[in-house]
Amino acid sequence: MAFPDRIERSVELAQPPSTVWAALTTAEGLSAWFGDKATIDLRLGGAAEMTFRSGLTVDMRVERVEEPTVFGFTWRVPDLPEGDPRRTYVEFTLEAVGDGTRLRVVETGFAQLPDDSRRQTYDSHAQGWAAELGELAGYLDAA
């Protein structure tokens, strides 16, 4: 399948799962490696927010909390309109290996389509995207 629906990576880290867990699930940890600023309400359905150096802020929703082995969240695909229902799901799995941790991350959902009712909503709101599409036009003009 050429459309990449699923991204999967695995890394071995020298620190134990409890340390890695804190880096993944606390505002302090997340802001140290993931985004520039982070907030997180670590419970099922809790809200989290990540602000990147570019200024982009992405809202996240906590979907799985099984300390210290599974942490999952969904977030919006960047550059889709605010309120778009499509979200990708990111799941971290931590496994103790010796003194360290094998961390696996899987992100899925890139190939999902908006359902037809949403698609009509897009069409009726097509003019609302004028500003963003104007940026595309500027980019294309400059190219």
Partner 1 sequence: MRPDAEAIAEQVFTALADPTRRAILATLAAQGPATGTDLADRLPITRQAIAKHLALLADAGLVTPEPGERRRVRYRLRSAPMEVAQQFLAALAHDWDDRLAALRDHLDRSSPALTTPDSESE
Pick one of 44, 47, 56, 133: the residue that binds partner 1 (CB under 8 A). 133
Q: Which is nearer to partner 1, 45 or 113 (CB)?
A: 113
d(C-alpha 56, C-alpha 79), whole Å: 10
d(C-alpha 102, C-alpha 93), whole Å: 8
Residues of this chain, 79-108, that bind partner 1 according to CB under 8 A: 79-81, 84, 86, 88, 98-100, 103, 105, 107
Q: Contact letters (x/-) for partner 1, 29-68, by CB under 8 A?
A: x--xxx----------------------------------
How many chain residues are in contact with partner 1, going by CB under 8 A? 54
Phi, psi of 105 (to 5 degrees): -125, 130
State in angstroms the smallest separation of the CB of 17 from partner 1: 12
State in angstroms the smallest separation of the CB of 45 from partner 1: 23
Structure tokens at 137: 């036009």
Structure tokens at 44: 């099922």
Q: Which is nearer to partner 1, 44 or 80 (CB)?
A: 80
How far is the CA of 120 from the CAs of 17, 70, 108, 124, 127, in angstroms? 46, 37, 25, 6, 13
